[in-house]
Amino acid sequence: MDSWHIPSLDALLTRIEGTKDGTGSWIRYPGAWASLQERKDLLPLTDAITQARTLRGLEPHMARIQAILQDITAHVPAPQTLIRRPVWKSQGSTLSPHRVLRGSSTPWKARTPARVPRHGKIVTLCVDACFPYTVTSEEIAWTSSATLAYASALEHAGYRVNLYAVLAGSDLLSNSEDWLVTLKLKDAAAPWSIQAMAVVTDPSFLRRLMFRWWETLATPEKPTNPTYGVCESNPRVIRARLAQVGLVPDLQDTQLVLGANMVDHIEGLSTACAWYTKQLATLAA
């Protein structure tokens, strides 16, 4: 499997900004260069970079995230952790001689599971940013917004969120293997900002910025495929690939959560809220 990790949005933009020739024109790499083709529903590449740099023009995407948060009736519970509290019983694992001598009817110490608040519990949340050409720009925006609304709710409930954009698929380049791209959007210790995260909900993030980044990988022997490969949507496959690159957390106080993707068919507010509510049932306390 081919895999690439981009440490930050700034690193992504810096690489893209360096893909011009001596005349200031965008280099056209072997194979597809859809990042440069005009589309009414997408920003031009230069404008997409400016938007990601300045965070301007993201108001419609921020409003979409806020609409999801305002419409939902179920809320993320505060994080908890499981401990084993000592209790004295007539039977248990450890006998207390002092309690025996005092004639106690509960001389044995046992431990009972109990849940207690755990503020600051870490969740690693992955925004699925890979969509095939058949998925509309509107559906991309709503699907990504649903995941970010959930991330915002986790932060406000007391969790700390590591946020990644994840793109997985196959056949990106001619005769290439399966592939995985991870982009670090936010560290758990960093403050939460809907405006900063809303960049990934704009369809131009995938079909301008990420397309351009992929195009730079092409060579004459391995040009970019016209469709930019086949997107992977199976959560088990994505988790397996994340495990291969070491992104799946192995610490006791962390949890990996995959965001909404194309198979969830999130096309508006009602389906976004339904997906959000479904996540509450799978969130481990």
CA atoms of 192 and 223, how far apart (whole Å): 38
* 156 and 64 both lie in a single domain: yes
Task: Quote the domain boundaries for residue 41.
Answer: 2-76+119-282
Task: Give residue 285's pLDDT.
Answer: 46
* 199 and 96 both lie in a single domain: no
Q: Which of 117, 132, 166 is the last residue of a domain?
A: 117
pLDDT bracket for residue 98 (50, 70, 90)? confident
What is the mean pLDDT of the segment spanning 179-201? 92
* H-state helical runs in the chain: 9-17, 45-54, 59-71, 97-101, 137-157, 194-197, 203-204, 211-215, 235-244, 269-282
* 126 and 180 both lie in a single domain: yes
CA atoms of 209 and 83, how far apart (whole Å): 45
Task: Give residue 122's pLDDT.
Answer: 87
Q: Name the domain count of the chain.
A: 2
> Is residue 205 pLDDT above 80, yes or no?
yes
* 112 and 129 both lie in a single domain: no
* 98 and 67 both lie in a single domain: no
CA-only gyration radius of the chain, Å: 24
- pLDDT tens-digit series, residues 14-70: 999 999 999 999 999 999 889 999 888 899 999 999 999 999 999 999 999 999 999
CA atoms of 32 and 127, how far apart (whole Å): 25
> Is residue 82 pLDDT above 70, yes or no?
no
* 44 and 145 both lie in a single domain: yes
pLDDT bracket for residue 246 (50, 70, 90)? confident
* 32 and 113 both lie in a single domain: no
Backbone dihedral angles phi then psi of residue 199, each to the nearest 5 degrees: -55, -40
> Nearest CA to 202 among 66, 51, 69?
51
* 218 and 101 both lie in a single domain: no
Task: Give residue 223's pLDDT.
Answer: 92
- pLDDT tens-digit series, residues 61-75: 999 999 999 988 666
CA neighbours closer than 13 Å in the CB half-sphere of residue 276: 31
Tell which wins on pLDDT, 198 or 87. 198
> Is residue 249 pLDDT above 80, yes or no?
no
Q: Which helix (H) or strand (E) holds 103?
A: none
* 224 and 259 both lie in a single domain: yes
* 167 and 251 both lie in a single domain: yes
Tell which wins on pLDDT, 207 or 108. 207
* 9 and 112 both lie in a single domain: no
pLDDT bracket for residue 6 (50, 70, 90)? very high
* 154 and 254 both lie in a single domain: yes
Task: Give residue 97's pLDDT.
Answer: 81
Q: Which of 63, 90, 117 is the last residue of a domain?
A: 117
